[in-house]
Structure 1
Amino acid sequence: MKENKTNDQELNSIVDVLVVDDQAMDQKNLSDYLKEYDVRFAIASNTNEAIKILADYPCRLILIAANLLEDDSFNIVQKIRAGSPSDVSIVAIIEKDLEELKAKCFNAGLDGCFTKPISRIELVGVLTHFLPDEVLSTKNIQVKHEVEGYKAIDLGYLKEISMGDIAYEKEITEKFIEIVSEEINDLNNCLVAGDYEKLKRIAHKMLSTIYVMGLGPKLSAHLQAIEDDDLTSDQYRYRVELIAMICEKAKEEAQVFLEQ
């Protein structure tokens, strides 16, 4: 087991994030990103290591490579659920944005998926969505959570996690604009095709994307309604149009922030 230690102290009794991945490069990328935040994490190279770690350390969030899930016929999911706290979240890391694989993951009881190459903005979104607020609170940093002049976005969380790194803030903002543009396009395409199952999966993914720019209070309820509720075609369209309108405004404000 590889584990994160802060100030050379032993890992505490609770692990915030457990990464289960057999690829050294993915382990390194995730480790580098996780070290930027105030989270305790451990890394396992296979499912057997993961079970051993979970026997010793309760965990809040598990990020697991989809190939390991498939090799194990997804049995690891039930083993984790049986031996872990009921509120543990399990998120798959998948090689490509494959709808069939995503469907398998959700059917097996996973809480989410995100794709390689692993980006900061997706990881930040996953952490924000699945970890308690107190885990992600950056110590000794005072942040104003509402920046005057913006009606849609709230840069408070981004500025908190960046710890003053302007280049990092700009990188995350650029990725947000890119990813949310793709997701809105995908939502609209699903509406046209009447593919509501795929629409639900995209809405679930967007729940991770929106948090980094402070859009949770404005969009979470609409995205969760698409994902969880039995809506009519007109209701789906209404929700998507509202989400798209807010996201377009958010993109405009994000671009203004980039140009400052």
Structure 2
Amino acid sequence: MVAEDDIVNQRIIKSILDKKKCIVSIVSNGKDTLEYWQNNDVDLILMDIEMPVMNGFEIVKEIRERELVTGKYTPIIALTGATMREDREKCLKMGMDGYISKPIRIDRIYQAINSVLRKYRKIESLSIRQFLERVDGDKEVLTEIIEDIISDDYEKEYLGNIETCIEQGNLEALNKNIHKFKGSISNFDAYNAINILETMGENIKSRNLYIIRHLFKELKNEFFDIKCELKEYKRKFLNNL
């Protein structure tokens, strides 16, 4: 659910989330936000702080109090034009789970949503079980593939080449390397990494190297998480073959 009264921001956010096949409901004031949350199954709320009728802090306070009775929990991400560190800390202290500063940017939304959903919905970065099915249940093949991905050579070939293209400003080569990496890592349904790669590709069209560099930092962090998950899976399930 998107709780936002500004029609331009509504359209921007809905457009961004529609591309990822999200089901988006939009409400324009605090009272309607609370009523919609009360009467519908909501996975996550993007909450504008400066809402009419009830502001974002008042809504969150009411939701968190009602959740003490219902026992359910809804992740809430703040949308705000404030950018100071204390503003972010206030949002988190008031019961929000994430923070997106305006103006709205694609990378900020994806980063915040992925972070919050992975934390509270226990969403894993990878689908190893599905990949095992793709190799017809052959754990030896899966072990070899995991060893390839967690190797330094794999990281140099994919992340290293992407980083070189960014440093050189070679957007044509960058686009090719992004598609190459996406094709490889998508075998594990690594949705977070795929989202970042797709957003990088979208920013190549507008030649926005500033955002691309920022996204690459997120990609490196995500790939580190992927390697950790693969190493742990290998340690727990595959080392006793």
TM-score, length-normalised on structure 2? Answer: 0.55
Contact 1:64 1:90 in 2 (8 A): yes
Q: Which amino acid aligns with 1:25?
A: V
**Counterpart in the other structure of 1:97:** 83
Distance 1:214 1:163, change over 3 A: closer
Secondary structure (helix, strand or coil) at the match of 2:25 reads strand
Unaligned runs of 5+ in 1: 1-17, 182-208, 221-260
* Aligned counterparts, 1:37-76, within 5 A: 37-68=20-51, 72=55, 74-76=57-59
Report percent identity of matched pairs.
Answer: 20
TM-score, length-normalised on structure 1? Answer: 0.51
Shift of 1:52: 1.3
Going by fraction, where is strand more abundant, 1 or 2? 1
Q: Which amino acid aligns with 1:168?
A: E
**Counterpart in the other structure of 1:218:** 224
Secondary structure (helix, strand or coil) at the match of 1:64 reads strand
1:170 and 2:207 aligned? no
- Deviations along 1:239-258, one digit per CA (max 9) or x if unpaired, are xxxxxxxxxxxxxxxxxxxx
Contact 2:28 2:51 in 1 (8 A): no
The whole-number CA distance in structure 1 between the counterparts of 2:72 and 2:59 is 15
Aligned residues: 169
* Aligned counterparts, 1:16-55, within 5 A: 18-55=1-38
Secondary structure (helix, strand or coil) at the match of 1:59 reads coil
Shift of 1:86: 3.7
The whole-number CA distance in structure 1 between the counterparts of 2:106 and 2:205 is 9
Distance 1:81 1:53, change over 3 A: same
Secondary structure (helix, strand or coil) at the match of 1:97 reads coil
Going by fraction, where is helix more abundant, 1 or 2? 2
Q: Which amino acid aligns with 1:150?
A: Y
Shift of 1:32: 0.4
Shift of 1:46: 0.9
The whole-number CA distance in structure 2 between the counterparts of 1:77 and 1:165 is 30
Bigger Rg, which one: 2
**Counterpart in the other structure of 2:171:** none
The whole-number CA distance in structure 1 between the counterparts of 2:89 and 2:30 is 21
Shift of 1:41: 1.8
1:116 and 2:102 aligned? yes
Greater alpha carbon shift after TM alignment, 67-76 vs 157-166: 157-166
1:107 to 75, 86, 93: 93
Contact 1:65 1:92 in 2 (8 A): yes
Unaligned runs of 5+ in 2: 128-133, 135-144, 163-180, 186-190, 227-241
